[in-house]
Structure 1
C-alpha cells in the first residue's frame, strides 16, 4: 500500500513535469492509487495555464492570411496599345544591308534572322523601324518626335517584363523613369507645336495624362502675410481712386477758368486793336491744348 504522503509527492512530481497546476486533494478522504490514475487519464479536463495559451498563439501565426500584392497600375503612362509583333524572318539590323547574307543559303539567312536573335537585337530592330517611320528627313535623329517614339518602344517593351516579374525592382524603376522622361518631352512638344503633338499622340496611340498640380497648404504665417498684402493693396487703390476723382474735378475747374481767361484776353486785344497774328497768339489752338499729364507717385510697401 502506498502512503498518502508518497502518493501526493508522486502525483505532484508528475503533474509538475506535465505542466499541470497544483492539485489539492479533499481532506475528507486520503488519495488512493485509483484516484490518481483517474486524474492522470483525464488530462484534457485540467487547465494547463500559460503553456496552452503560448502554444495556441504560436499555432495561430501559421494560419495568418498574407496580404495579396497590389496589382501594378500603369494607367498614368497613357499607353493605349501594346507592342506590335515582329516578323522573325527579317534579318537583324546589322545585316540588313549585307549582300552576302542576301545571297547565302536559307539556313545561313535563318541564323542571321530575328528568329535566332536575343531580346536586345529584337528591341534594336523595333527602335530602328520606329525611327524610320517617324523621321521627317534622314538627318532627323534628335528631334522631340523621335525621342518620344523611341522611349515609347522601350516603355512598351518593359511593361510585360515588369508585370510578370514583380521582384525586379531595377526594371520597374527604369520603367517609371522613362515614363516621366517621355511626359517631359510630350509637355515640351505640346508647348512648341500643338498640331504636331496631337499627330504624334494619335500615331503612337498615347493618351496625354499630365501630372496633377502640386498643391501645398499655406501655413498660418503665410496666410496672415497674404491677408496683410491684400489689405494694403485695397487701401492703396482706394487712395488712388480718390486722388483721380480729385484731379478730374480740378481739371474741369481749370478748363472753365482757362476758357474765361482766354475770352477776356481776346476781348482786351480787340479793344486795343491788336491783331493776334502779330503777337503769335491763336485762341483756337490755345483752347485745344491739354494740361500736362500728372502721374501720382506711389511708394511701395516693404
Structure 2
C-alpha cells in the first residue's frame, strides 16, 4: 500500500514538473522573438556607437614622412637655410655665392680694396638679403606657401605637375591643417569653419575620383597623407 502511494506521489510530481516545464517553455517561446529583436537592436546600436566613436578624424592626419618635410611656424622661425619666394638651391647659390663675386669683378673693387676685402664688403649685403628672403622672417602665409611648394615637389608625377589628384589632395591637406590650427585658437571664426568643411569635402571628392581611376595610387596617397579610408569615404561629419 505504501509503495503504491509513493509511486502515485512520484507520478503526480512528474506530471506537475512536466506541466510546469511545458508552461515555462511556452511562455519563453512567446517572449523569445521580442527578446531577440530587442537584443539585436541593442547590439546594432552598440556597434553603430562604437563605429562612430572609433571613426578616424577627417581633419587630423597621422604622422608620416611627408609631414616631416613641412614647417610649422615654430620650426620655420628656427630655420636659417630655407627661404621664401620659391627660391631653389640654384637660385640661392646664384644670389649668395656667385653674385658677390661677379659684383666684385664687374666693379673693379678688388683692384682698389683687394679681392678679400671687397668680397667681405659684399658678404655684408648678402647677409641682409638672406634676412629679407629667409623663411624665419616670413609670416604664416609665407610658411603655408613654402609647405605647398614642398607638397608639389613630394607628390608631382613630373616637374611642373600641379593638377594630379595626389598633388591637389596634398595641397588641400596642408591648407586643412593650417586652417584647423587657426580655428583651435579662434573658435568663433564661423566663416573659416565653413571653409574648413568645404575643403574637407573637396578633398574627399578628389580622393574618390582617384580611387575610381587607380586603387593602388589611391591607397598610396592615403598612406602618405596619414589618412584612413573611413576618414574620407562615405558621410563625413565635422
TM range (shorter): 0.5 to 0.7
Equivalent runs, 1:112-131 vs 2, <5 Å: 112-131=133-152
Q: For the Cα contact (< 8 Å) 2:152–2:167, is it kept in 1?
A: yes
- Partner of 2:163: helix, strand, or coil? coil
Q: Is the 8 A contact 1:91 1:112 kept in 2?
A: yes
The answer to whether 1:77 aligns with 2:69 is no
Cα 1:207–1:199 shift into 2, 3 Å: same
What are the superposed Cα offsets for residues 140-183 of structure 1, whole Å, 9 maximum, x if unpaired? 22111111011111111111111221111111111111000000
C-alpha displacement of 1:133:
1.0
How large is the RMSD of aligned CA atoms in angstroms?
2.6
Larger Rg: 1
Gaps of 5+ in 1: 1-72, 214-302
The equivalent of 1:100 in structure 2 is 95
1:186 pairs with 2:207 = yes
Q: Structure 2 unaligned runs (5+)? A: 1-54, 101-124
CA–CA distance in 2 between the matches of 1:105 and 1:139? 30
Question: Given the superposition, is the C-alpha separation of residues 177 and 74 from structure 1 closer, same or farther in structure 2, using an over 3 Å criterion?
Answer: farther
Is the alpha carbon distance of 1:117 and 1:101 closer, same or farther for their aligned partners in structure 2, counting shifts above 3 Å? farther
Report the Cα distance in structure 1 between the residues aligned to 2:179 and 2:63, rounded to whole angstroms: 13
Q: Does the Cα contact within 8 Å between 2:59 and 2:176 map onto a contact in 1?
A: no
SS at match of 1:75: coil
The residue that corresponds to 1:196 in the other structure is 217
Does structure 2 retain, via aligned residues, the 8 Å contact 1:78–1:207? no
**Distance change (3 Å), C-alpha of 1:131 and 1:112:** same
Q: Which of 160, 173, 176 is matched with 1:155 structurally?
A: 176
**What's the counterpart of residue 105 of structure 2?**
none
**Contact 1:134–1:149, Cα closer than 8 Å, also in 2:** yes
Q: Which structure has greater helix proportion? A: 2
TM-score of the superposed pair, with normalisation by structure 2:
0.53
Does the CA contact (< 8 Å) of 2:172 and 2:199 recur in 1?
A: yes
SS in 2 for 1:77: coil
Paired with 1:129 and 1:76, the residues of 2 have a C-alpha distance of 22
Aligned mates of 1:78, 1:94 — CA distance in 2: 27
